Chain A
Amino acid sequence: QSVLTQPPSVSAAPGQKVTISCSGSSSNIGNNYVSWYQQLPGTAPKLLIYENNKRPSGIPDRFSGSKSGTSATLGITGLQTGDEADYYCGTWDSSLSAPVFGGGTKLTVL
């Protein structure tokens, strides 16, 4: 059981937009920055978003992040088949004094 809750799967058609939610509490998302990671099949996770809504260099602006209260959202527009991957949210949990991850969301581009 992950500390952060994500939907197990989402799907959308190529070119469409999708959002992935990440729900936590005041001890984690509510008072700390959120990051997002993309894990393509058979590869290591890769940073997509940090400090709630910042993109590292090289990450297209089709990917966006937001946070409100104890929840965060990853948005992906102009979906491509190459976006099919597992997506994880992450943050710090002040009660656990540890980084925590969501359970992951599998994105299918139909």
Chain B
Amino acid sequence: EVQLVQSGAEVKKPGESLKISCKGSGYSFTSYWIGWVRQMPGKGLEWMGIIYPGDSDTRYSPSFQGQVTISADKSISTAYLQWSSLKASDTAMYYCARLKGNIAGGWFDPWGQGTLVTVSS
């Protein structure tokens, strides 16, 4: 079974750093792009960026460029999303998802279960 399992919920203070993870299993992790999607409370889906674990080629949405860093460790089939200095406005659910098909015109399947990040003083 193809599966993406994300790390658990986090509660952080403004200014703290954070790295959340997304572990893939049941498929060739290095052969598919992994994307990250933000969902703020009560809001829709926003694409943040995407990484190809095979060669670590990474693309960012302009809205998130410079705000987060996406990386991957193919030796343990895990992708990461990290912040160096969290803000209250980073409070959201974060999903990873595998991209099938071409990067332009592909679709996300499956999705991880989500990681809730709460940033509060």
Contacts and interface: CB of A to CB of B under 8 A. Distances in A.
Interface of A: 2, 32-33, 35, 37, 43-47, 50-51, 56, 88, 90-92, 94, 96-104
Given A43-B113, A44-B95, A88-B45, 18 more contacts: A32-B104, A32-B105, A33-B105, A37-B45, A47-B109, A47-B111, A51-B107, A90-B107, A91-B105, A92-B104, A92-B106, A94-B104, A98-B59, A98-B61, A100-B47, A101-B46, A101-B47, A102-B44
| Residue of B99, B107, B113 ringed by the most chain A CB atoms within 10 A | B107
Contacts of B87: none
Task: State the main secondary structure of chain B at its contact with A.
Answer: strand
Contact of A46 (B37, B61, B111, B114): B111
Given A32-B105, A92-B104, A47 B110 contact: yes
Contacts of B107: 33, 35, 47, 50-51, 90
A47 to B, nearest CB: 4
Contacts of A104: 44-45
B35 interface: yes
